[in-house]
Amino acid sequence: MSDDNNKINPQITSVEIGRRNLRKLDIYPLALGDELGLTEEISIAIAKYFDKAVPKDEDSAVIKFALDLIKDNFNKIIGFVVEDEDPNELVKEITNAQFCEIAEIVYKCNFEDASKNAVSLSEMIKKALVSVRQSPLFVKDTDTDLLNSIEKDLAKVESLEES
């Protein structure tokens, strides 16, 4: 095989994990389908959170919500971004700090640029829509038939006056 057929995705990032002995773990970017599914699940969880009454200690409630969201979806998220690893076994090896590093990689690789691009695309669409609204869709040249009609009518009136 040539080198062109073996290009490695530059978004693949390696992290070291382990409580005692460190080992390398490759973090892969999410496939679009996985990213959309994960985004939908997070959106649903956020909507459910805000549907509940807001507790008095809002900061601790937000932290608890985030931790519950991660806990409930940890295996799924890890399953999306690593290969040939059992998420149930990985959770026994990964420390909190290592998980935070993985979460940051997943966010930056999959969501940070995408959200910036979405905002940029949204602005371009808004500008395009505004320019379409401001320019007339149909512009006619001066209607010369109208002027000719007025001239004919004036001629008729003058001929009647003369008679």
Q: Where are the domains of the chain?
A: 3-162
Q: Is 84 left (phi over 0), alpha (psi -120 to 50) or beta?
A: left
Average pLDDT estimate for 4-23: 88
Which range of 89-98, 117-126, 128-137, 154-163 scores highest in mean pLDDT? It is 89-98
Residue 101 class from Cβ within 10 Å (0-12 exposed, 13-18 middle, 19+ buried)?
A: middle
User: Is pLDDT of 57 > 70?
Assistant: no
Average pLDDT estimate for 38-52: 80
Nearest to residue 48, comparing CAs of 76, 69, 30, 24? 69
Average pLDDT estimate for 66-73: 79
pTM above 0.85, yes or no: no
> And the tokens for 13?
């990032």
